[in-house]
Amino acid sequence: MSPQRWMRVRIAFLGALLFVGAGLVVRRGYELQIERGAVLAEMGEEQYLKNVRLAPKRGTIYDREGAELAVSVDVDSVYANPRQLRKLGKDPHRVAAQLASILPIDSGRIAARLSKDRLFVWIERQVTPQQAAAVKALGIEGIGLRREAKRFYPNRHLAAHILGFANVDGNGIEGLELSYDAALRGTTSAVPAIKDNRGSIVFSSQLLDDRASIGDSVTLSIDKTIQHIAERELELGVRTFEAAAGSVVVTDPQTGEVLAIANYPTFNPNEPSKYPASHHRDRSVTDRYEPGSTVKPFTVAGALATGAVRANQRFDCENGAMEVAEYTIHDTHRWEELSTGQILAQSSNIGSAKIGFAMGRRGLFRGLRKFGFGTKTGIALPGETGGILRHYKKWYDMDAATIAFGQGMSVNTMQLAMAMGAIANGGMLMKPLLVKRVTNPSGELVQEFAPTAVRRAVPKWTARVVSDMLTAVTEPDGTGAEAAMDGYLVAGKTGTAQKADYVAGGYAEGKWISSFVGFAPADRPRIVIAVTIDEPLIAHYGGTVAGPVFRRIGEAALQHLGVPARGGGTALVRPPKEVDRTKDPAAAGDGHTSENLRVAAAEGLDDQPTIVKTSTLLRERDGLLSVPDLRGVTARKAMVLATKSGLSARIEG
């Protein structure tokens, strides 16, 4: 073969090889890029990317004026790369000991996490700035810090039962955090982290811009100031009478807006695990109890509305004892005859029973059901109970009498407040309005909630008549005299009920629920307040125990709302009322009026400078009474000086 021909063969052969090689490369490239591209890309990312789930940044919860009640803040969390630590020859137990000296977690648990064959583990979530700085100062490769969102409640205990709390992963657990979790939560983050050539995890700030969206924000009807007032005065009331617990609900009767919900004992939602689970419970909606005499206004209202009784009708009250079937109904006092209004003012069980009989089973059941008893209010909080009001066809012969004065049925404090709101606003039962609006992170309106009328409970004239009757309850000779407010006309009703014994049956010996529910000013109602005190030990009558809590909350709340008092102001020091010791055995012979007991409770309060406004002289019916100069003294000293002078004093502000 000639050299030229051989050269051509060689060139052809090389060309063929190149062609085949190029074909194989193209085929392989096609396979890698097209056929297996997605799989290989995923495998490659596994080598240098790690998705780390982070808690979402929840939206803010505001009060009605825009004050922040719950916010999300960025804090550091400590993580580890166990594979990198192993590659660097780090002893997991030694590293764990170093971290345990800084973090609130024992070294054994840390060592267990560091021993895992993983690229990423959390060591401790949401640490303090001091702890984060100390971890960083250790300078251990494979141990790092990551910023994530933490739920924070800037007012600590304030509105704890309304707000509830969220866990470390940003999920709502209690309260509004739970019921509005979907709106507040946003979307959970899965943030990519890049591993460098030594295996260390590096979070890219560019990648972090693509993290989960912030949740929507929620604006409540709650007034932060009134909420604080309610919590302060409820705690004082519970402590004063050495009670087990208590609840307060404050509403606007015209709209159904909830201005405050207070419970005691309470908790700090920033650290809920430090408190018993019972402290987390919103007793105002979850706890049901027999309401006792606070139901009487609704019995009377239903009877008047249907014509079963007349407002001026008089009833034989049997001199304090009435036989019904094999039972005897008693009154605290031996009344011979009372009018419909006097039955409310003097809280006659016998008179209420006779009104119940006049209505009949069906009429009484329907009348109470119109006020919402036996059904849930629909408030935007988890765990609400509807109370118990059995259908009238299941009643026994005695039930028409006992249910008429609040036994044999159960309610919660929220139900009681909303029912009284229907009397205050002219007969319309409103749905409690707790959430006013939901907005997105840009401030745009997502959802708005307007006042909602559930039904007309009674005609307007009936509500007005009952309202007028209830003002007599807080007159000096009424059962709720201690609920009377300086400068404001009050309509309300006391309640004193034995607690049911659900284990042994019947009623628990010596255990009571003391309550007061009412509104003010009675002529132009601005607020409804329902107060429930559970198992007070020192006294148990509703007027004595719950009445003063109602009064103190009402006076301070009305002043905050700018409602002018009659006579131009409120007297902060006044002559003590004469105490009818026949009304409360606990008060007889030991000086335990509610006013004196408040002085004892004040001894346990922090000594803080308090400005006490007084006049130099206070006029009584028969002369002038000297008042000590209390300017600039502490709260405890002011209360003691006033009491030593024979005066009844209250702390305001």
Residue with tokens 């600039």: 632
**Is 293 an active-site residue?**
yes
Output the six-digit token pair for 165: 């709390």
Output the six-digit token pair for 543: 């007027």
Asked if 172 contacts 382 with a C-beta cutoff of 8 angstroms, the reply is no
Q: What is the 3-state secondary structure (H, E, C) of 403-472?
A: HHHCCCCEECHHHHHHHHHHHHCCCEEECCECEEEEECCCCCEEEECCCCEEEECCCHHHHHHHHHHHHH
Output the six-digit token pair for 12: 């052809």
DSSP code for 569: S
- Provide CB contacts within 8 A for 114, sequence distance 6+: 80, 82, 85, 92, 95, 96, 121
- What DSSP element (H or E) covers 375? none
DSSP code for 333: S
What's the CA gap between 469 and 471, in Å, rounded? 5
The single residue of 293, 514, 515, 648 carrying the catalytic annotation is: 293
Nearest-5° angle of CA 362, CA 368, CA 373?
Answer: 125
Output the six-digit token pair for 51: 């998705």
* Residue type at 403 in one-letter notation: I
Q: In what order do the strands lie in the sheet with 245-251?
A: 258-264, 245-251, 527-534, 507-520, 491-500
What's the CA gap between 93 and 109, in Å, rounded? 10
Output the six-digit token pair for 450: 């307007």
What's the CA gap between 155 and 178, in Å, rounded? 19
What Rg value do the Cα atoms of the chain yield, rounded?
35
- What DSSP element (H or E) covers 532? strand 527-534
Burial class (CB within 10 angstroms; exposed 0-12, middle 13-18, buried 19+) of 220:
buried
DSSP code for 272: G
DSSP string of 61-107, one letter each residue: EE-TTS-EEEEEEEEEEEEE-HHHHHHTT--HHHHHHHHHTTSSS-H
What's the CA gap between 173 and 168, in Å, rounded? 10
* Residue type at 451 in one-letter notation: P
- Provide CB contacts within 8 A for 11, sequence distance 6+: none
Beta-bridged to residue 148, according to DSSP, are 75
User: Any alpha helices (H) in 323-394, and if so which ranges?
Assistant: 340-345, 349-370
- What DSSP element (H or E) covers 114? helix 107-114
- Provide CB contacts within 8 A for 440, sequence distance 6+: 216, 217, 446
Chain centroid to Cα 204, Å, comes to 40
**Phi-psi region for residue 275, left (φ > 0), alpha (ψ -120 to 50) or beta?**
beta
Residue 589, classed as helix, strand or coil, is: coil
Tell me the catalytic residues. Answer: 293
